[in-house]
């Protein structure tokens, strides 16, 4: 049995029917929206992480002492931490979703809902662990 037969066996249980171009316009629009938000969330995540690293150096005094209080306020801001967690969880889960779709999984609506539910649960757990005092 060649690799094509193995791939067909692995891929077929995931798909109900073959996809036709223009098959479902709503799914196409939803996929485009997810793709755009995934890219934008990655850029925002990079910017926040760079700012967080720079403010960390600033708190230590490596960037001068003029704006140390401003850097400390930003670095310890819980809204920034929650935003980083939310963007990281969203970006990671939808990255896995995209990889599964690229590998042949065809149930995009199911993946959409599973991704959203899993992301919401992970976000609540992270907020509970890191931001709510125990």
Report yes or no on 37 lying in a domain: yes
Report yes or no on 31 lying in a domain: yes
Report yes or no on 108 lying in a domain: yes
Report yes or no on 6 lying in a domain: no
The predicted pLDDT at position 134 comes to 64
Report yes or no on 20 lying in a domain: no
**If you average pLDDT over residues 31-59, what whole number do you get?**
89
pTM of the model: 0.69
CA distances (Å), origin 78, targets 21, 63, 89? 45, 23, 16
**Statement: residue 21 has pLDDT above 50:** no
Q: How far apart are CA 85 and CA 39, in angstroms?
A: 16
Number of domains, the chain? 1
Full residue range of the structural domain in which residue 125 is found:
26-46+76-131
Report yes or no on 51 lying in a domain: no
User: Is the distance from CB of 30 to CB of 112 less than 8 angstroms?
Assistant: yes
pLDDT per position as a tens digit, 93-125: 989 988 888 888 878 888 888 999 999 999 999
């Amino acid at each position: 049995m060649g690799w094509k037969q193995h791939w067909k066996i692995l891929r077929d249980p995931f798909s109900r029917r073959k996809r036709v171009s223009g098959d479902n316009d709503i799914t196409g629009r939803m996929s485009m929206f997810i793709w755009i938000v995934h890219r934008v969330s990655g850029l925002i995540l990079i910017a926040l992480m760079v700012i967080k690293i720079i403010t960390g150096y600033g708190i230590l005094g490596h960037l001068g002492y003029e704006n140390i209080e401003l850097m400390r306020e930003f670095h310890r801001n819980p809204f920034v931490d929650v935003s980083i967690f939310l963007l990281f969880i969203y970006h990671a889960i939808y990255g896995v979703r995209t990889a599964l779709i690229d590998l042949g999984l065809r149930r995009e609506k199911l993946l959409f809902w599973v991704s959203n539910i899993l992301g919401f649960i992970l976000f609540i757990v992270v907020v509970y662990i890191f931001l709510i005092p125990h």
